A and B are shown apart, each in its own frame.
Chain A
Amino acid sequence: MSQELPRDTRPRAHHDLGGAPKYMCMPVDTEPHVLSAFDKDVDAIRQILGDKEIMSTDELRRGIEAIPETDYHRLTYYQRWLRSITDTLLRKGVLTEAELRAALGA
């Protein structure tokens, strides 16, 4: 397949962005980014879930990759993490939707 097809016709998953031709003309942002309180909170939650062996980094990545394409590109880096964490905890039954709604005050 690598010889017959141009790269952008390969069936890559939408999160598999390396080498995608549409990004080749865009400058790479190499500036350091300040982490928000939200970012740090999400990171801390993931570390706790890892330490307690409730959710691994591999499960986090899989959950990020499962975010539908339009949401994936709309969300920030740590918003994707939180989406993955939430989806995973709901699926595993660590949280229920009712508990989540109650915690959010909805």
Chain B
Amino acid sequence: MTLAPGMRVRVRDDWPETRGTCHIRTPHYLRGERGVVLAWLGEFPNPEDAAFARPAAETPLYHVRFDQPSLWGQGTPGDAVVAEIFGHWLEEADT
């Protein structure tokens, strides 16, 4: 699935670090949060496999914009947090 700019997404509320050794690039504070896709950044070897020197499939990476005040409880309306999130961590959100 390729996500288009402007698409509303939700970061998967998943916690692989509770299930054993892993390497994930999705910060804890974005799990389960809703944002908007800004851009597709390209395809990169999945770091979750590359970190263990396993064959790593090319995986899409996106810039995703999150509303900062609702995320941090700080900032002024319109402030944003922009993060690089791999596609397999994103699901389409209705709202």
Q: Is the CB of B29 within 8 A of A19?
A: yes
CB-CB contacts of A41-75 with B at 8 A, as 1s and 0s?
00000000000000010110110011000000000
Q: Is the CB of A10 within 8 A of B23?
A: no
Contacts A58-B47, A58-B50, A65-B23 hold; do A16 and B28 have CB atoms under 8 A apart? yes
**Chain B residues near A18 (CB, 8 Å)?**
27-29
In the complex, how many angstroms separate the beta carbon of A90 from the nearest chain B beta carbon? 14
Q: Is the CB of A12 within 8 A of B28?
A: yes
In the complex, how many angstroms separate the beta carbon of A27 from the nearest chain B beta carbon? 14
Q: Is the CB of B50 within 8 A of A56?
A: yes
**Chain B residues near A56 (CB, 8 Å)?**
50-51, 53
Q: Is the CB of A2 within 8 A of B32?
A: yes
Q: Is the CB of A11 within 8 A of B17?
A: yes
Chain B: interface secondary structure?
Answer: loop
Q: How far is the CA of A65 from the CA of B48 in the complex (A)?
A: 13
Chain A: interface secondary structure?
Answer: loop
Residue of A nearest to B53 (CB): A59
Does B13 lie at the interface of the complex (its beta carbon under 8 Å from any beta carbon of A)?
A: yes
**Chain A residues near B72 (CB, 8 Å)?**
19
**Chain A residues near B71 (CB, 8 Å)?**
19
Does B76 lie at the interface of the complex (its beta carbon under 8 Å from any beta carbon of A)?
A: no
Q: Which of A2, A13, A24, A59 contacts B13 (CB 8 A)?
A: A2
Nearest first, the 9 A-B pairs at minimum CB distance are A2-B32, A19-B29, A12-B28, A62-B51, A58-B50, A58-B51, A62-B23, A13-B17, A58-B47
